[in-house]
């Protein structure tokens, strides 16, 4: 039963159909949770006793930062699967995720510095988290550049899978080395948020936003995967038949 | 036809690459010249402030070493890719990762080792105290092989591309960050006079880790690039 499911999901045509049916569900639930999360985050949650209203950017910033790491792990796992079992659909997932992941990383960096300006008085500090997030963005950009440089897209997907795996081995090392470098060379003048014992009224919107971003990722990655499948299989019979039917 | 043992295949490939490098001596000095020039540019850009130059010295030397390694990386598989011998390595009976290791070792001997030898001179130019120079050399001998090893993965991925050079730097530089951080930190710690065992252990761990993992990734990447 499960094996059959994976077998079917490995076929581009079946994946295309199922993804097409899933996208509206993801989209609708994303929009609902987004409206809920924004409303509770911006209007219902109380202002912070120290940071006032400007902490609210956290409701975009923190979920975006979570997504930037989550998507990289998804890419590495599907990269491993596509290298080991040569499943076409996980290759498609790897490359469809890269741009979304890079966007979330960029969003996290931008919102972070928007928050940093009023809070720390500067747009950028070489803080451990900021630096490793910046390096993560470079890793994403490298993956995107490599994919666009290789002409044969199947070869490109496998090359990118290897790169994602090499990156995932390196990310912890990069993270800890940056943290270590930071603690040695920067005085603890910055009061980071650390681990604030957050009130439930502040935490709930954050969790809703995190779910919302995940749903967005699900919707977008499926849409991109469908587009990628059509492009790869443009000479396959089922695609031609589908196009003919659409034309009628 | 007798079969070649793995060790003799390794040493033959190493000898072949070194001979090839020796026949192109003019190219051989390029990374070294680049290393020296980049390092010499920094004091000119920063200004003639001895304190400042001393403070940035270890970082400058290491960034220059990083760039020199990056510059020379592209040559690692290029010629073999162009004339088809890389495909013959893939077809050989020996594990590709071991053959890759021979090529990386040859590359390091040709490009990494000269940096190590030139480093004391540059250290003097950058006002790094004489007591810290052995440490600088130690970090270079531990760190530059890591650069060649990690770099080999990137070269293997980009060897088939026409404009591989720019992409290569985008792929590789973020992965070089840990080496850069720990190596410069070791030297800075040594200048202050604090024991450096911890940093050296971490650098050695990176060397051992990349020695084991990078050839596997490089071999897999080469297979993809040649498919």
The model's pLDDT over B131-180, given as tens digits with 9 standing for 90+, comes to 889 899 999 999 999 999 999 999 999 988 877 778 898 899 999 988 99
Instruction: Look at residue A165 and tell me if it is in a domain.
Output: yes
Give, as one character, the DSSP assignment of residue B127.
Answer: T
Which residues does A contribute to its contact with B (CB < 8 Å)?
83, 135, 138-139, 141-142, 145-146, 149-150, 155, 158-159, 162-163, 165-167, 169-170, 173-174, 177-178, 180-181, 184
Q: Name which of A16-30, A54-68, B99-113 the model is least confident about.
A: A54-68
| Distance, C-alpha B132 to centroid of its chain | 22
Record: contact A149-B163, CB cut-off 8 A: yes
Q: What is the dihedral of CA A108, A113, A115, A117, to 10 degrees?
A: 180
**How confident is the model at residue A187, as a pLDDT?**
44
Residue-number span of the structural domain to which A157 is assigned: 23-186+199-247
- Neighbouring CB atoms inside 10 A of B130's CB total 9
Q: Alpha-carbon torsion A130, B189, B183, B33, what sign?
A: positive
Q: With contacts defined as CB-CB under 8 Å, which chain B residues touch A144?
A: none
Q: Are residues A211 and A61 in contact, defined by beta-carbon separation less than 8 angstroms?
A: no
Q: Which long-range contacts (CB under 8 A, 24 or more apart) does A109-115 make?
A: A109/A133, A109/A134, A109/A137, A111/A57, A111/A60, A111/A61, A111/A64, A112/A61, A112/A65, A114/A57, A115/A54, A115/A55, A115/A57, A115/A58, A115/A61
Task: Domain count for chain A, please give it.
Answer: 1
Residue A125 counted as domain residue: yes
**Using CB atoms, which residue from B167, B181, B221 is nearest to A149?**
B167
Banded model confidence at residue A32, pLDDT cuts 50, 70, 90: very high
Q: What is the pLDDT of residue B1?
A: 44
Residue A183's pLDDT is: 62
Preferred mutation among A161, A162, A174, A176 to probe B, highest tally of B CBs within 10 A:
A162
A55-75 mean pLDDT: 89
- What's the ipTM? 0.85
Asked, for residue A97, whether it belongs to a domain, the answer is yes
Chain A contact present for B176, CB below 8 A = no
- Does residue A2 form part of some domain? no
The verdict on B206 touching A (C-beta cutoff 8 Å) is yes
Task: State pTM to two decimals.
Answer: 0.87
* Domain presence at residue A11: no
Please classify residue B17 by burial: count the beta carbons closer than 10 Å to its beta carbon, then call 0-12 exposed, 13-18 middle and 19+ buried.
buried
What confidence tens digit (pLDDT) does each residue in A95-115 have?
999 999 999 999 999 998 888
- Is 80 exceeded by the pLDDT of residue B221? yes
Residue ranges in chain A assigned as alpha helix (H): 2-9, 12-39, 58-85, 88-120, 128-149, 153-185, 200-232, 237-247
Q: What is the pLDDT of residue B149?
A: 94
Residue A1 located in a structural domain: no
Report the alpha-carbon distance of residue A34 to residue A97 in Å, rounded: 20
Nearest CA in chain A to B214: A166
Q: Is residue A10 part of a domain?
A: no
Give residue-wise pLDDT tens across range A124-166.
877 777 888 898 999 999 999 999 888 888 888 889 999 999 9
- For B224, the closest of A135, A159, A170 (CB atoms) is A159
Summarised one tens digit per residue, pLDDT across range B184-205 is: 888 888 888 888 888 899 899 9
Candidates A83, A159, A181; nearest CB to B181 = A181
Residue A180 contacts residue A37 (beta carbons within 8 Å): no
User: Would residue A15 count as lying in a domain?
Assistant: no
pLDDT for position A117: 80
E strand or H helix at B123: helix B113-125
Please give the backbone phi and psi of residue A52, each rounded to the nearest 5 degrees, phi first.
Answer: 65, -135
Per residue in A156-215, pLDDT tens? 888 999 999 998 888 888 777 777 776 654 444 444 455 555 677 778 888 899 999 999
Q: Are A108 and A117 in contact (CB under 8 A)?
A: no
- Residues B58-113 pLDDT 10s: 889 999 999 999 888 888 888 888 888 888 888 888 889 999 999 999 999 998 88
């Amino acid at each position: 039963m499960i094996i059959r499911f994976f077998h079917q999901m490995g076929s581009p045509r079946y994946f295309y159909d199922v993804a097409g049916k899933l996208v509206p569900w993801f989209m609708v639930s994303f929009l609902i949770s987004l409206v809920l999360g924004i409303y509770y985050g911006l209007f219902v949650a109380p202002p912070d006793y120290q940071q006032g209203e400007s902490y609210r950017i956290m409701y975009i910033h923190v979920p975006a930062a979570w997504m930037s790491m989550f998507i990289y792990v998804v890419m590495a796992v599907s990269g491993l699967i596509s290298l080991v079992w040569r499943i076409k659909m996980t290759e498609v997932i790897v490359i469809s995720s890269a741009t979304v992941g890079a966007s979330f990383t960029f969003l996290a960096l931008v919102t972070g510095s928007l928050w940093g300006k009023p809070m720390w008085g500067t747009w950028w500090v070489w803080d451990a988290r900021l630096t490793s997030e910046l390096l993560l963005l470079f890793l994403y950009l490298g993956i995107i550049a490599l994919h666009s440089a290789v002409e044969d897209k199947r070869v490109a997907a496998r090359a990118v899978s290897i790169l994602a795996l090499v990156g995932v081995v390196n990310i912890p090392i990069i993270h800890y080395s940056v943290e270590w470098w930071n603690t040695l060379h920067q005085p603890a003048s910055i009061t980071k948020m650390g681990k604030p014992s957050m009130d439930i009224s502040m935490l709930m919107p954050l969790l809703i936003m995190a779910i919302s971003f995940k749903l967005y990722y699900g919707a977008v990655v499926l849409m991109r995967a469908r587009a990628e499948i059509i492009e790869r299989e443009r000479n396959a019979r089922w695609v031609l038949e589908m196009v003919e039917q659409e034309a009628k | 036809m007798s079969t070649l043992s793995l060790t003799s295949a390794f040493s033959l490939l190493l000898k072949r690459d070194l001979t090839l490098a020796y026949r192109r001596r003019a190219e051989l000095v390029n990374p070294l010249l680049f290393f020296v020039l980049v390092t010499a540019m920094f004091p000119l850009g920063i200004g003639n402030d001895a304190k400042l130059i001393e403070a940035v010295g270890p970082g400058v030397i290491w960034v220059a070493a990083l760039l020199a390694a990056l510059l020379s990386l592209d040559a690692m598989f290029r010629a073999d890719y162009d004339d088809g011998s890389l495909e013959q390595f893939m077809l050989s009976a020996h594990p590709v990762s071991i053959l890759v290791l021979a090529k990386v070792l040859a590359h390091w001997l040709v490009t990494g080792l000269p940096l190590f030898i030139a480093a004391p001179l540059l250290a003097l130019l950058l006002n790094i105290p004489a007591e810290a120079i052995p440490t600088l050399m130690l970090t270079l001998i531990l760190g530059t092989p890591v650069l060649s090893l990690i770099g080999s993965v990137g070269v293997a991925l980009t060897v088939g591309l026409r404009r591989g050079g720019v992409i290569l730097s985008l792929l590789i530089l973020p992965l070089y960050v840990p080496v850069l951080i720990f190596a410069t930190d070791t030297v800075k710690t040594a200048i202050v006079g604090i024991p450096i065992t911890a940093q050296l252990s971490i650098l050695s761990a990176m060397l051992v880790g990349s020695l084991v993992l990078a050839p596997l990734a490089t071999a897999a990447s080469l297979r993809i690039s040649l498919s």
